[in-house]
Amino acid sequence: MTSFSRYLSIDSDDEETDDIEVFQRPYHRYSLDLPGIVTREKPSQTGGVGPKLVVAMVGLPARGKSYIVKKLKRYLTWLQYETKVFNVGNLRRNTQLIKNELTPNNHSHLFFDPDNEYAKKVREQVAMDCLDELIDWLKRGGRVGIHDATNSTAARRKKILERCQREHSFKVLFIESICNDEEVLESNMRLKLLGPDYKNMDPEEALKDFRKRVTNYEKVYETINEEEEEKNNVQYCKLINVGKKIIAHNIKGYLSSQCIFYLMNLNLVERQIWLTRHGESTDNVIGRIGGDAPLSKSGRKYGACLSRFIYTQKKLFRQKQLEKYRGFSGSSTPLPEPPERNFLVWTSILKRTVETAENFDPKEFDIMHIRFLNEIYAGLCEEMTYQEIEKSYPEEYNARKNNKLYYRYPGMGGESYLDVIHRVNPLIIELERMTDNIMVITHRVVLRILLAYFLDVEKEKVPNMDVPLHTIYCLQPKPYGTELTKWKYDDDQDCFSQIE
């Protein structure tokens, strides 16, 4: 067995096999499932698509399910799995009701009373209709469908499993969010008031009604239990207090384990992620791609100004952190002053990023050089200009122009955008996991890919995003998405100004 086929056979129940069999067997038997990465010598006989995954959320309202769902969708889409969220709440809001005193509308707490038989029937129907829509979409080519609902009883979950089992090669992963951290719950409840059920109501009334809704759910809520493990052999993960504690059961397959690994690493801490390309290099000046050229004079000037600018931003962040702390600590028992957040600087291992970081003071910043941040490797085309590539390899030039995302440069080590996405994946996990502030100094393709993840850029747009030299992007992850500010370097004034 070659090392490659061994790598493909990481599913525990796969027996030993030789290379030929690896390519002839139905693809879904194998766990490794990376869009655009696994190169086949023979075309797949099964259409080449792995199993479909239904992710069904579980949990009481205000447990951060929608936050998890949004992030998971963004991550999977970025990894190039077609992913779509099916929100039961949206369907419920569009459902016509026979209204009466017990069921005045489809968002009051009365509608969620488990003793309200009519409303209960409607809610069950809406949840299953939403699942049908999801299944339909998966059959039409989707890969991961996320059922965003409370799915808070064992009976409901059984129905979901039974419905999905009627489909060939559909896997179900339940993700249950449990939260008893009062601070997080309170802020989730307040966020809920901005949502479609409550946005036109008096906030106090809305909060009262929402709390009653939660109480109604609590009356019947059952966490995923041992009986479901034994009888239904469910695949599930419980995330307790935003991933502080994780319980996983029966996790099978690459995609499910990727989801769980990702969710394990999320945190809600306020921080800043600064991104930029290296300063201008001598190759940039003459239009050569790849290589390992040093900075030009203008590039060195950019690097020096960048370190001064980020040092000021670091101090500003600390100042704000202390102001916030002082605002909170006016109480009788003052809290201890929070320590200053670490500030990391990551670069690739290529000269142009290392030199850009040269002026950062190692006493103030933790500086690391990481190969995963290197520019796309252009194989045979390294150190050529685009005009030279067009002249020497016209077919390659056009192939790339026609499908830049999937196109892999020819020659040993040549990469595609998809290859770079998967190379950068561990860094995304690390960026999600850590609570430090960070400055990432990298290259055009890697910067596009990092921005695409944080800003949820459509895959067709990623390879052509405009990311000029001498521009800084500041990302601040928030519960509802990522806040972006952009800064441009002015070479004449030798300073940055905010442009967005």
Q: Does 278 contact ligand F6P by CB under 6 A?
A: no
Q: Which of residues 74 and 443 has its CB atom nearest to ligand F6P in the complex?
A: 443
Q: Pick the closest to residue 198 from 298, 124, 106, 313 (CA basis).
A: 106
CA–CA dist 457, 461 (Å, integer): 7
CA–CA dist 320, 82 (Å, integer): 40
Q: Does 396 contact ligand F6P by CB under 6 A?
A: no
Q: Parallel, antiparallel, or unpaired for β 481-490 and 471-478? A: antiparallel
Q: Does 445 contact ligand F6P by CB under 6 A?
A: yes
Site for ligand F6P in 324-343 (CB under 6 A): none
Per-residue burial over 272-293, b = 16 or more CB atoms within 10 Å of its CB, e = otherwise: bbbbbbbbbbbbbeeebbbbbb
Q: Which of residues 253 and 463 has its CB atom nearest to ligand F6P in the complex?
A: 463
At closest approach, how far in Å is the CB of 303 from ligand F6P?
16
DSSP codes of every residue in 164-216: HHTSTTEEEEEEEEE---HHHHHHHHHHHTTSTTTTTS-HHHHHHHHHHHHHH
Helix (H) / strand (E) element for 284: namely helix 282-286
Q: Does 444 contact ligand F6P by CB under 6 A?
A: yes
Q: Does 64 contact ligand F6P by CB under 6 A?
A: no
CA–CA dist 338, 322 (Å, integer): 8
Q: Does 73 contact ligand F6P by CB under 6 A?
A: no
Q: Does 109 contact ligand F6P by CB under 6 A?
A: no
Which residues partner with 490 through β-bridges?
495
Among 59, 290, 303, 414, binds ligand F6P (CB under 6 A): 290
At closest approach, how far in Å is the CB of 288 from ligand F6P?
7
Q: Which of residues 242 and 376 has its CB atom nearest to ligand F6P in the complex?
A: 376
Q: Which of residues 127 and 441 has its CB atom nearest to ligand F6P in the complex?
A: 441
At closest approach, how far in Å is the CB of 389 from ligand F6P?
10
Q: Does 163 contact ligand F6P by CB under 6 A?
A: no
Which residues partner with 53 through β-bridges?
144, 171
Q: Which of residues 463 and 477 has its CB atom nearest to ligand F6P in the complex?
A: 463
Q: Edge-to-edge strands of the sheet including 52-58?
A: 83-87, 144-148, 52-58, 170-178, 236-240, 245-249
CA–CA dist 386, 466 (Å, integer): 17
Q: Does 289 contact ligand F6P by CB under 6 A?
A: yes
Q: Which of residues 142 and 379 has its CB atom nearest to ligand F6P in the complex?
A: 379
Q: Pick the closest to residue 479 from 185, 90, 264 (CA basis).
A: 185
CA–CA dist 272, 414 (Å, integer): 33
Q: x/- string (CB under 6 A) for ligand F6P, residues 356-395?
A: -------------------xx-x-----------------
Among 147, 192, 408, 443, binds ligand F6P (CB under 6 A): 443
| Residues designated as active site | 148, 179, 375, 443
Q: Pick the closest to residue 346 from 446, 429, 440, 444 (CA basis).
A: 440
Q: Which two tokens stand for residue 157?
A: 């979950």
At closest approach, how far in Å is the CB of 377 from ligand F6P?
8
Q: Which of residues 299 and 463 has its CB atom nearest to ligand F6P in the complex?
A: 463
Binding residues for ligand F6P, rule CB under 6 A, total: 9
At closest approach, how far in Å is the CB of 74 from ligand F6P?
22
Q: x/- string (CB under 6 A) for ligand F6P, residues 457-476?
A: ------x-------------
- Where does this chain bind ligand F6P (CB under 6 A)? 289-290, 375-376, 378, 443-445, 463
